[in-house]
Structure 1
Amino acid sequence: MIRLHSTRLLGMGLALALLLPPGVATASRASDGLTAGSRRDPALQELADQVVAGPNPNPGAFLFTRRGPDDRFGAAGLADRSTGKPMAPDLRFRTGSVTKTFTATVVLQLVAEHRLRLDDTVQSLLPEQVRTDNALSGAPITVRQLLNHTSGLYDYIDGLLPHFRSLDQYWPRDRLIGIGLARPRYFPAPGTRFRYSNTNYLLLDLIVERITDRDLRTNLERRVFAPLGLRDTSYPLTRTTIDGNHVHGYADVSLLLPDAPDPTRFDVTALSPSEAGASGALVTTAADIARFYRALLQGRLLPPDVLRRMLTDTVPTTGSAPPAVAYGLGIYVYATSCGHAYGHGGSALGYLTFALNSRDGNDQLVAHTNWNPFSDTGIDEDFWAAFQQGYCASAG
């Protein structure tokens, strides 16, 4: 599930011979994964220890930083309570809404290729979605407004509970879009203010598919995963399992499954990622997230003018919790004690992740914990404090 920067943390290598879109450069494969010199850092370790210390419910946590070629980390607790596997930053996990920056990158590549314009409207691109009884019958909504969450469209996540049957149920994209469009808009005039909505990114998914005649997974693999060598990153819509060594996610499911053993820390790893789709279904690792954002911010995925718009065509994130202060085209701007950072947070049921990066992509942090509730238990204060402190420590 994907509620970000809010006190409501709700959750419900391919061949490099592929042609690259304009503005894409192939990354060196020498630094895949953690670097050979990656080492445990005492300050980061102390922060990770605080996240899992009792009485916190977090089974495990890590903070992974990359400054130039230097990798450091702190990791504490367990990645799998049933086996006792320790938490580590090289394990795969569900990223939640960090996925949105990946999706937005594909959309902006199509803008760079002049196959799509930011001012194109959803109504003109997806006319079959417009009905007199749904939210697209109002004022036109542009691609830009989908990307920066100013469309006003209802967030389908908020309407999922009545349709819930099991953690592993498959959610067709059209059904999720239908839930999002069936309810009135949060505000009638698009572009007037920020209101985070996952429905926006499912519509962007449909637009990408319509323009390229390929699904989003294929576009991500050809345009992002393969060029950057993200061999531990996947978009597994129909699979409830996570391949390879991975983190198990835990959640408080007492509202959904009150008779489950240990319902406050129930293993929800087998959640169907179809529930999130283009807004949050990605599985990856800390190193792959860092590699993606560094490539993006250093101009290896988008041409300079389009990247500048991604980062500066921003709106204030009214109602979002600090340190988020603005939202661009698929990317947050964070105000930290050491200056502005760029990235995204991701909330999936059982998983909570944040990625912060300097504007030049040189200083980076990926923080993760494998507990995220279904019930409204408020902000995970220790985790939030840890990732903000960890980023500024890594940035010097």
Structure 2
Amino acid sequence: MASAGRAAEAQSAGRHRDPALQALVDKVVDDPNPNPGAFLLARDGLTDRFGAAGVADRATRMPMAPELKFRAGSVTKTFTATVVLQLVAEQRLRLDDTVQSLLPDQVRTDNALSSAPITVRQLLNHTSGLYDYIDGLLPHFRSLDQYWPREQLIGIGLAQPRYFPTPGTRFRYSNTNYLLLDLIVERITDRDLRTNLERRLFEPLGLRDTSYPLARTTIGGAHVHGYADVSFLLPNAPDATRFDVTGVSPSEAGASGALVTTAADVTRFYRALLQGRLLPEPLLRTMLTDTVPATGSAPPVVAYGLGMYVYATECGLAYGHGGTAPGFQTFALNTRDGHHQLVAHTNWNSLVDSGIDKDFWAAFQQGYCSDPR
């Protein structure tokens, strides 16, 4: 791992280390914050600047660097949504098609699909009202590396009552929505989501460091290690508040958050998307402007489109997504034309709802609006 760390440092040396970004990430890792490491990568056209602080691996002391792979969490949702919208562009799917018509075998008299119809659009923008299966995982937990079948996760999400009875009336973030989209993509294309992501996005865009693992709990190549507070799950674990959870099974997230990637690949994807290279312009406009108020989200989030957050920053509207996976937290923000971009990452989070990581939250907002030096 030491050699991988040196290679990452060497690559970072070819970029401009920006004092303003560096000051922000230094604050993220300063005591008493529990974050082992953090980075900010800003891209303006062909120019990159960054700040990186702390370590990517506490055991080897490998320095944090923006070239390392990490689990991207819900940033995955924009990738999944793009595949769905490509199927819309190909006229193989309509935004107003209902889940009940597309997945009739999922409808049962005793589950949440038995009442008012839910559309593909409402899955994409989190207005379905469906219960978030993440909130119901704890009774089923056995170990961090256990494999979670998609059918089990969907079943957990559909077994509970809806958050509200009438779809489309308000926003309520639910990962269950994107597992159903995964199933819809598979039914329509007769290929799993991984194959669709690889053929439609990863390969055409040259995202060589991006993958969609489900069964694999390890990350290949030089990567960030993620740390979390597992004291409520594994109270006897050593160093339970900063426990290495890198080996958690990505099957727990699936289409809602299983992506492994790098900052460079994230910026390449969003730039291609926002510059109209992945979707026809009218459909891209719908993705960004067919929004609902993101009720309950912390500022600068103001709205949610079709797999895309809208952020009202001090320097104007930004588009992208945040992502949390056990031990990892990421934000990707972009201007409408994809010219100015920021990826922010830290390798710690709390598995319990203990509030916002204030210094990291400030870092991604201030970093996005910082001027190039």
Same fold per superposition (TM over 0.5): yes
**Does residue 1:283 correspond to 2:257, yes or no?**
no
What SS does the aligned partner of 2:296 have? coil
Superposition deviation, residue 154 in structure 1: 0.2
Superposition deviation, residue 376 in structure 1: 2.2
Q: Which residue of 1 aligns with 2:5?
A: none
Equivalent of residue 384 in structure 1, options 340, 361, 366: 361
Q: Structure 2 CA distance, aligned partners of 1:325 and 1:156?
A: 24
Q: Structure 2 CA distance, aligned partners of 1:374 and 1:339?
A: 32
Conservation of the 8 A alpha-carbon contact between 2:12 and 2:67: no
What SS does the aligned partner of 1:153 have? coil
Q: Which residue of 2 aligns with 1:333?
A: 310
Q: Which residue of 1 aligns with 2:8?
A: none
What SS does the aligned partner of 1:79 have? strand
TM-score (structure 2 length as normaliser): 0.96
Superposition deviation, residue 37 in structure 1: 5.0
Map 1:342-361 → 2, pairs under 5 A: 342-361=319-338
Conservation of the 8 A alpha-carbon contact between 1:365 and 1:394: no
Give per-residue Cα distances to partners, 1:193-226, cap 9 Å, x unaligned. 0000000000000000000000000000000000
Conservation of the 8 A alpha-carbon contact between 2:133 and 2:156: yes
Give per-residue Cα distances to partners, 1:246-279, cap 9 Å, x unaligned. 0000000000000000000000000000000000
Q: Which residue of 2 aligns with 1:140?
A: 117
Q: Structure 2 CA distance, aligned partners of 1:395 and 1:234?
A: 31
Q: Which residue of 1 aligns with 2:177?
A: 200
Q: Which residue of 1 aligns with 2:76?
A: 99
**Does residue 1:41 correspond to 2:18, yes or no?**
yes
What SS does the aligned partner of 1:77 have? strand
What SS does the aligned partner of 1:137 have? coil
Q: Please provide the CA RMSD for this pair.
A: 1.1
Q: Structure 1 CA distance, aligned partners of 2:98 and 2:25?
A: 45
Equivalent of residue 266 in structure 1, options 205, 230, 243: 243
Superposition deviation, residue 36 in structure 1: 8.8
Conservation of the 8 A alpha-carbon contact between 1:364 and 1:395: no
Q: Structure 2 CA distance, aligned partners of 1:148 and 1:273?
A: 23
Q: Which residue of 2 aligns with 1:152?
A: 129
Conservation of the 8 A alpha-carbon contact between 1:39 and 1:73: yes
Map 1:224-373 → 2, pairs under 5 A: 224-373=201-350
Q: Structure 1 CA distance, aligned partners of 2:14 and 2:205?
A: 21
Conservation of the 8 A alpha-carbon contact between 2:225 and 2:246: yes
What SS does the aligned partner of 1:170 have? coil
Equivalent of residue 49 in structure 2, options 72, 88, 96: 72
Q: Which residue of 2 aligns with 1:63?
A: 40
Superposition deviation, residue 395 in structure 1: 7.3
Superposition deviation, residue 106 in structure 1: 0.1
Q: Structure 2 CA distance, aligned partners of 1:395 and 1:85?
A: 27
Q: Structure 1 CA distance, aligned partners of 2:350 and 2:247?
A: 15
Give per-residue Cα distances to partners, 1:298-355, cap 9 Å, x unaligned. 0010010110000000000011111100000000000000000000000111000000
Superposition deviation, residue 118 in structure 1: 0.1
What SS does the aligned partner of 2:148 have? coil
What SS does the aligned partner of 2:298 have? coil
Q: Structure 2 CA distance, aligned partners of 1:228 and 1:38?
A: 22
**AA paired with 1:119?**
D
Unaligned runs of 5+ in 2: 1-10
User: Across the two proteins, how many residue pairs are aligned to each other?
Assistant: 363
Conservation of the 8 A alpha-carbon contact between 1:363 and 1:394: no
Equivalent of residue 223 in structure 1, options 194, 200, 209: 200
**AA paired with 2:144?**
L
What SS does the aligned partner of 2:134 have? helix
TM-score (structure 1 length as normaliser): 0.91
Indicate the larger mover: 331-340 or 35-44: 35-44
Equivalent of residue 93 in structure 2, options 105, 112, 116: 116
Give per-residue Cα distances to partners, 1:44-103, cap 9 Å, x unaligned. 000010000000000000000000100010000000000000000000000000000000
Query: Identity of counterpart residues, as a percentage?
Result: 82
